[in-house]
Chains A and B, each alone.
Chain A
Amino acid sequence: MTGPRKNSLMRRVKGFMLRRGPYMIACEDFEAFIIDYLEGGLSDRQRFIFELHIKICRECRDYLAAYQRARELGKATVLEESEAPEDLIQAILKARET
Protein backbone atom coordinates (compact mmCIF):
# COMPACT_ATOMS: atom_id res chain seq x y z
CA MET A 1 0.00 0.00 0.00
CA THR A 2 1.07 3.57 -0.48
CA GLY A 3 0.64 6.22 2.22
CA PRO A 4 1.25 5.69 5.94
CA ARG A 5 2.64 2.33 7.08
CA LYS A 6 0.08 -0.13 8.49
CA ASN A 7 0.95 0.60 12.11
CA SER A 8 2.34 4.10 11.87
CA LEU A 9 1.75 6.57 14.69
CA MET A 10 -0.78 8.36 12.48
CA ARG A 11 -2.83 5.21 12.04
CA ARG A 12 -2.63 4.34 15.74
CA VAL A 13 -3.92 7.82 16.62
CA LYS A 14 -6.64 7.54 14.01
CA GLY A 15 -7.70 4.12 15.31
CA PHE A 16 -7.80 5.44 18.89
CA MET A 17 -9.80 8.52 17.88
CA LEU A 18 -12.32 6.52 15.87
CA ARG A 19 -12.88 4.04 18.69
CA ARG A 20 -13.13 6.57 21.51
CA GLY A 21 -14.50 9.78 19.99
CA PRO A 22 -18.18 10.73 20.35
CA TYR A 23 -20.27 9.56 17.38
CA MET A 24 -17.23 7.76 16.02
CA ILE A 25 -16.93 4.21 14.76
CA ALA A 26 -13.92 2.19 13.67
CA CYS A 27 -13.59 1.33 9.99
CA GLU A 28 -14.38 -2.31 10.81
CA ASP A 29 -17.72 -1.24 12.28
CA PHE A 30 -18.35 1.10 9.35
CA GLU A 31 -17.94 -1.92 7.08
CA ALA A 32 -20.85 -3.68 8.80
CA PHE A 33 -23.12 -0.66 8.16
CA ILE A 34 -22.46 -0.30 4.41
CA ILE A 35 -25.16 -2.69 3.23
CA ASP A 36 -27.85 -1.12 5.42
CA TYR A 37 -26.73 2.37 4.40
CA LEU A 38 -27.15 1.54 0.72
CA GLU A 39 -30.37 -0.42 1.25
CA GLY A 40 -31.87 2.37 3.38
CA GLY A 41 -31.91 0.33 6.59
CA LEU A 42 -30.15 2.75 8.99
CA SER A 43 -31.85 4.86 11.65
CA ASP A 44 -31.27 8.63 11.52
CA ARG A 45 -28.65 8.36 14.27
CA GLN A 46 -26.84 5.49 12.57
CA ARG A 47 -26.88 7.37 9.27
CA PHE A 48 -25.41 10.45 10.95
CA ILE A 49 -22.60 8.38 12.45
CA PHE A 50 -21.98 6.60 9.14
CA GLU A 51 -21.81 9.85 7.16
CA LEU A 52 -19.58 11.47 9.79
CA HIS A 53 -17.15 8.57 9.38
CA ILE A 54 -17.10 9.10 5.60
CA LYS A 55 -16.16 12.75 6.15
CA ILE A 56 -13.34 11.87 8.52
CA CYS A 57 -11.87 8.73 6.97
CA ARG A 58 -10.24 9.05 3.54
CA GLU A 59 -9.84 5.26 3.21
CA CYS A 60 -13.52 4.48 3.82
CA ARG A 61 -14.61 7.37 1.60
CA ASP A 62 -12.48 6.08 -1.28
CA TYR A 63 -13.53 2.51 -0.59
CA LEU A 64 -17.25 3.31 -0.66
CA ALA A 65 -16.93 5.33 -3.88
CA ALA A 66 -15.10 2.46 -5.59
CA TYR A 67 -17.56 -0.10 -4.16
CA GLN A 68 -20.48 1.78 -5.69
CA ARG A 69 -18.68 2.41 -8.97
CA ALA A 70 -17.94 -1.34 -9.23
CA ARG A 71 -21.69 -2.03 -8.94
CA GLU A 72 -22.41 0.44 -11.74
CA LEU A 73 -19.68 -1.05 -13.91
CA GLY A 74 -20.94 -4.57 -13.28
CA LYS A 75 -24.45 -3.58 -14.24
CA ALA A 76 -23.36 -1.74 -17.39
CA THR A 77 -21.35 -4.76 -18.50
CA VAL A 78 -23.82 -7.51 -17.75
CA LEU A 79 -27.02 -5.95 -19.03
CA GLU A 80 -26.94 -6.52 -22.74
CA GLU A 81 -29.64 -7.15 -25.28
CA SER A 82 -30.45 -10.81 -25.54
CA GLU A 83 -32.20 -12.59 -28.37
CA ALA A 84 -33.50 -16.16 -28.42
CA PRO A 85 -32.48 -18.20 -31.47
CA GLU A 86 -35.34 -19.13 -33.79
CA ASP A 87 -34.74 -22.88 -33.41
CA LEU A 88 -35.12 -22.53 -29.63
CA ILE A 89 -38.41 -20.66 -30.04
CA GLN A 90 -39.62 -23.38 -32.39
CA ALA A 91 -38.61 -26.08 -29.88
CA ILE A 92 -40.56 -24.31 -27.11
CA LEU A 93 -43.67 -23.96 -29.29
CA LYS A 94 -43.39 -27.57 -30.42
CA ALA A 95 -43.03 -28.84 -26.84
CA ARG A 96 -46.34 -27.21 -26.01
CA GLU A 97 -48.13 -28.94 -28.86
CA THR A 98 -47.00 -32.40 -27.74
Chain B
Amino acid sequence: MSGPADDEELIEGLRLGSPVHFERLVRDNAGWMLGVARRLLRDEALAEDALQDAFAKVFQSVAGFRGEARLKTWLYRIAVNAALMKLRARTRRQEQPIDDFLPEFDQNGCRIEAPWSHLATPEEVLESESQRAFVRAKIDELPDNYRTVLLLRDIEELEMTEIADLLELSPGATKVRLHRARSALKHLLEPALRSETL
Protein backbone atom coordinates (compact mmCIF):
# COMPACT_ATOMS: atom_id res chain seq x y z
CA MET B 1 0.00 0.00 0.00
CA SER B 2 1.29 3.49 -0.79
CA GLY B 3 2.03 6.00 1.94
CA PRO B 4 1.15 9.71 2.10
CA ALA B 5 4.45 10.77 0.45
CA ASP B 6 3.84 8.40 -2.49
CA ASP B 7 0.26 9.68 -2.67
CA GLU B 8 1.46 13.28 -2.94
CA GLU B 9 3.82 12.57 -5.79
CA LEU B 10 1.16 10.49 -7.58
CA ILE B 11 -1.54 13.12 -7.14
CA GLU B 12 0.74 15.84 -8.45
CA GLY B 13 1.41 13.71 -11.52
CA LEU B 14 -2.31 13.08 -11.99
CA ARG B 15 -3.10 16.78 -11.75
CA LEU B 16 -0.53 17.48 -14.45
CA GLY B 17 -2.24 14.86 -16.64
CA SER B 18 0.73 12.48 -16.74
CA PRO B 19 -0.26 9.22 -18.51
CA VAL B 20 2.43 7.35 -16.58
CA HIS B 21 0.88 8.41 -13.26
CA PHE B 22 -2.61 7.52 -14.44
CA GLU B 23 -1.44 4.08 -15.45
CA ARG B 24 0.22 3.60 -12.08
CA LEU B 25 -2.97 4.69 -10.31
CA VAL B 26 -5.05 2.21 -12.30
CA ARG B 27 -2.63 -0.70 -11.97
CA ASP B 28 -2.11 -0.19 -8.24
CA ASN B 29 -5.80 0.17 -7.38
CA ALA B 30 -8.00 -1.53 -9.99
CA GLY B 31 -7.76 -4.95 -8.29
CA TRP B 32 -9.05 -4.05 -4.86
CA MET B 33 -11.57 -1.55 -6.29
CA LEU B 34 -12.95 -4.31 -8.51
CA GLY B 35 -13.14 -6.50 -5.38
CA VAL B 36 -15.35 -3.89 -3.69
CA ALA B 37 -17.65 -3.77 -6.73
CA ARG B 38 -17.77 -7.57 -7.03
CA ARG B 39 -18.79 -7.97 -3.39
CA LEU B 40 -21.58 -5.44 -3.69
CA LEU B 41 -22.85 -6.45 -7.12
CA ARG B 42 -22.16 -10.22 -7.35
CA ASP B 43 -22.09 -9.81 -11.12
CA GLU B 44 -18.79 -9.70 -12.97
CA ALA B 45 -19.99 -7.63 -15.93
CA LEU B 46 -21.70 -5.06 -13.70
CA ALA B 47 -18.66 -4.92 -11.40
CA GLU B 48 -16.38 -4.23 -14.36
CA ASP B 49 -18.77 -1.52 -15.60
CA ALA B 50 -18.77 0.00 -12.12
CA LEU B 51 -14.97 0.01 -12.08
CA GLN B 52 -14.85 1.81 -15.42
CA ASP B 53 -17.38 4.36 -14.13
CA ALA B 54 -15.31 4.78 -10.98
CA PHE B 55 -12.11 5.55 -12.88
CA ALA B 56 -14.00 7.90 -15.22
CA LYS B 57 -15.06 9.77 -12.07
CA VAL B 58 -11.49 9.70 -10.74
CA PHE B 59 -10.13 11.15 -14.00
CA GLN B 60 -12.80 13.87 -13.99
CA SER B 61 -12.34 14.96 -10.42
CA VAL B 62 -8.70 14.40 -9.56
CA ALA B 63 -7.92 18.06 -10.22
CA GLY B 64 -10.29 18.94 -7.38
CA PHE B 65 -8.89 16.34 -4.98
CA ARG B 66 -7.61 18.39 -2.10
CA GLY B 67 -5.72 15.67 -0.31
CA GLU B 68 -7.72 15.99 2.94
CA ALA B 69 -8.43 12.27 2.82
CA ARG B 70 -5.89 9.60 1.92
CA LEU B 71 -5.91 8.76 -1.77
CA LYS B 72 -7.03 5.21 -1.03
CA THR B 73 -9.97 6.46 1.08
CA TRP B 74 -11.03 8.79 -1.72
CA LEU B 75 -10.80 6.00 -4.31
CA TYR B 76 -12.68 3.69 -1.96
CA ARG B 77 -15.63 6.06 -1.69
CA ILE B 78 -15.74 6.50 -5.45
CA ALA B 79 -15.68 2.70 -5.98
CA VAL B 80 -18.48 2.13 -3.43
CA ASN B 81 -20.57 4.91 -4.96
CA ALA B 82 -20.14 3.58 -8.49
CA ALA B 83 -21.17 0.09 -7.36
CA LEU B 84 -24.18 1.40 -5.44
CA MET B 85 -25.32 3.35 -8.52
CA LYS B 86 -25.28 0.11 -10.51
CA LEU B 87 -27.04 -1.73 -7.71
CA ARG B 88 -29.80 0.89 -7.53
CA ALA B 89 -30.29 0.77 -11.29
CA ARG B 90 -30.53 -3.03 -11.13
CA THR B 91 -32.79 -3.39 -8.11
CA ARG B 92 -35.59 -0.93 -8.54
CA ARG B 93 -37.82 -3.73 -7.32
CA GLN B 94 -39.65 -4.14 -4.06
CA GLU B 95 -37.51 -4.73 -0.99
CA GLN B 96 -37.56 -8.39 -0.09
CA PRO B 97 -38.66 -9.37 3.43
CA ILE B 98 -36.31 -11.33 5.67
CA ASP B 99 -38.75 -12.03 8.49
CA ASP B 100 -38.26 -15.79 8.20
CA PHE B 101 -34.58 -15.37 9.08
CA LEU B 102 -35.09 -13.29 12.22
CA PRO B 103 -34.93 -14.53 15.84
CA GLU B 104 -37.99 -15.99 17.53
CA PHE B 105 -39.44 -15.32 20.98
CA ASP B 106 -42.14 -17.16 22.91
CA GLN B 107 -45.21 -15.57 24.50
CA ASN B 108 -43.20 -14.86 27.65
CA GLY B 109 -40.77 -12.66 25.69
CA CYS B 110 -38.06 -15.34 26.03
CA ARG B 111 -35.75 -16.15 23.12
CA ILE B 112 -36.17 -19.47 21.36
CA GLU B 113 -32.68 -20.75 20.61
CA ALA B 114 -31.61 -24.38 20.46
CA PRO B 115 -28.52 -25.05 22.61
CA TRP B 116 -25.15 -24.83 20.89
CA SER B 117 -22.97 -27.80 21.74
CA HIS B 118 -20.38 -26.65 19.21
CA LEU B 119 -19.73 -23.26 17.60
CA ALA B 120 -17.33 -23.70 14.68
CA THR B 121 -14.59 -21.17 13.97
CA PRO B 122 -14.24 -19.61 10.50
CA GLU B 123 -11.05 -21.65 10.01
CA GLU B 124 -12.91 -24.90 10.70
CA VAL B 125 -15.78 -24.00 8.40
CA LEU B 126 -13.62 -22.76 5.54
CA GLU B 127 -11.34 -25.79 5.48
CA SER B 128 -13.31 -27.38 2.66
CA GLU B 129 -14.23 -25.82 -0.67
CA SER B 130 -17.80 -27.14 -0.39
CA GLN B 131 -18.29 -25.37 2.96
CA ARG B 132 -16.83 -22.20 1.48
CA ALA B 133 -19.30 -22.44 -1.41
CA PHE B 134 -22.14 -23.03 1.07
CA VAL B 135 -21.27 -19.88 3.03
CA ARG B 136 -20.95 -17.79 -0.14
CA ALA B 137 -24.33 -19.05 -1.37
CA LYS B 138 -25.94 -18.20 1.97
CA ILE B 139 -24.54 -14.67 1.98
CA ASP B 140 -25.92 -14.29 -1.54
CA GLU B 141 -29.36 -15.29 -0.25
CA LEU B 142 -29.59 -12.06 1.72
CA PRO B 143 -31.77 -9.52 -0.06
CA ASP B 144 -29.67 -6.76 -1.70
CA ASN B 145 -30.79 -4.01 0.68
CA TYR B 146 -29.64 -6.04 3.70
CA ARG B 147 -26.54 -7.53 2.10
CA THR B 148 -25.37 -4.05 1.12
CA VAL B 149 -25.53 -2.60 4.63
CA LEU B 150 -23.85 -5.71 6.04
CA LEU B 151 -21.02 -5.53 3.52
CA LEU B 152 -20.47 -1.82 4.01
CA ARG B 153 -20.24 -2.14 7.81
CA ASP B 154 -18.82 -5.58 8.55
CA ILE B 155 -16.67 -6.18 5.50
CA GLU B 156 -15.76 -2.73 4.19
CA GLU B 157 -15.83 -1.28 7.73
CA LEU B 158 -17.35 2.09 6.82
CA GLU B 159 -18.65 4.29 9.64
CA MET B 160 -22.39 4.08 10.36
CA THR B 161 -22.91 7.76 9.50
CA GLU B 162 -21.19 7.28 6.16
CA ILE B 163 -23.31 4.21 5.39
CA ALA B 164 -26.47 6.16 6.27
CA ASP B 165 -25.39 8.89 3.83
CA LEU B 166 -24.52 6.47 1.05
CA LEU B 167 -27.80 4.55 1.39
CA GLU B 168 -29.87 7.69 2.01
CA LEU B 169 -31.23 6.28 5.27
CA SER B 170 -31.63 7.81 8.72
CA PRO B 171 -29.05 6.66 11.30
CA GLY B 172 -31.79 4.78 13.17
CA ALA B 173 -33.01 2.98 10.05
CA THR B 174 -29.42 2.08 9.16
CA LYS B 175 -28.89 0.49 12.58
CA VAL B 176 -32.12 -1.49 12.37
CA ARG B 177 -31.31 -2.72 8.89
CA LEU B 178 -27.79 -3.72 9.90
CA HIS B 179 -29.02 -5.67 12.91
CA ARG B 180 -31.64 -7.47 10.85
CA ALA B 181 -29.01 -8.29 8.22
CA ARG B 182 -26.63 -9.70 10.84
CA SER B 183 -29.46 -11.69 12.46
CA ALA B 184 -30.43 -13.12 9.08
CA LEU B 185 -26.81 -13.99 8.34
CA LYS B 186 -26.54 -15.84 11.66
CA HIS B 187 -29.69 -17.79 10.79
CA LEU B 188 -28.46 -18.64 7.29
CA LEU B 189 -24.98 -19.71 8.44
CA GLU B 190 -26.24 -21.74 11.36
CA PRO B 191 -25.80 -25.17 9.69
CA ALA B 192 -22.16 -24.33 8.95
CA LEU B 193 -21.54 -22.93 12.43
CA ARG B 194 -23.09 -26.02 14.00
CA SER B 195 -20.95 -28.16 11.64
CA GLU B 196 -24.10 -29.71 10.18
CA THR B 197 -23.34 -29.09 6.51
CA LEU B 198 -21.91 -31.93 4.40
Rounded to whole Å, the gap between the CB of A90 and the closest CB of chain B is 10
B155 touches A66 (CB 8 A): no
Partner of A11, one of B51, B108, B121: B108
B110 interface residue (CB < 8 Å to A): yes
B155 touches A74 (CB 8 A): yes
A residues lining the B interface (CB < 8 Å): 1-3, 6-7, 11-12, 14-16, 18-19, 26-31, 34-36, 39, 57-60, 62-63, 65-67, 69-84, 88-89, 91-93, 95-97
A82 touches B55 (CB 8 A): no
Chain A hits for B22, CB < 8 A: 93, 96
B111 touches A60 (CB 8 A): yes
Partner of B31, one of A28, A57, A73, A82: A82
Once A39-B175, A65-B116 are accepted as A-B contacts, the answer to whether A89 and B109 lie under 8 Å apart by CB is: no
A35 touches B154 (CB 8 A): no
Once A1-B114, A73-B122 are accepted as A-B contacts, the answer to whether A93 and B23 lie under 8 Å apart by CB is: yes
B35 touches A74 (CB 8 A): no
Chain A hits for B125, CB < 8 A: 73
B114 touches A63 (CB 8 A): no
A78 touches B30 (CB 8 A): no
Partner of A77, one of B30, B112, B126: B126
